[in-house]
Chains A and B, each alone.
Chain A
Amino acid sequence: NAGVMQNPRHLVRRRGQEARLRCSPMKGHSHVYWYRQLPEEGLKFMVYLQKENIIDESGMPKERFSAEFPKEGPSILRIQQVVRGDSAAYFCASSPMATNYGYTFGSGTRLTVV
């Protein structure tokens, strides 16, 4: 029973490029959450999705960031025209139902913008 799978583990992008981060939730989990951890900071909520629906995107920056969780396939967090300030660890979590506890987090994607 695989856990939450995130790939890539490490991603290096030049300023202005696009970054695509993937998250495959645990089997049977239909709720996905994305969090970002900036250096020396705690995790900050970005977006909560169910299959084909964005439920809460109150933590998403207004520009350049988007997320989706299609009917088939992983959830994708997309960052267009990356800047140095986007360098962070991005964590995905999943749950079988709407819940705010007992999330299972993935190991994260560490994005470095050079």
Chain B
Amino acid sequence: GQQVMQIPQYQHVQEGEDFTTYCNSSTTLSNIQWYKQRPGGHPVFLIQLVKSGEVKKQKRLTFQFGEAKKNSSLHITATQTTDVGTYFCAGPKRSGGGADGLTFGKGTHLIIQP
């Protein structure tokens, strides 16, 4: 079945350093979504990418969708303590429509040292 893999599993950074997490799918995706989960919290939607090669920015966060629509990345510039949490990528199991739910990666846990 479809697999979504994320690396690294854990990332320790000093506050102010940059951070990148990578996501790879075993199948071509119609879209990819990113979620953030704070410790003890629930996943919160960050963004959805749909087009091949798409790049979107949200303040210090930059999201990319690969040309083959099988990989994606999230880059955070100049991390802050508020960025702490686990970042998940997720893709639909089929071509879209959502009926088969999303396949989530295992997430990258971002730990920031002040």
A and B found bound together:
no
Which A residues fall within an 8 A CB radius of B?
A: none
Which B residues fall within an 8 A CB radius of A?
A: none
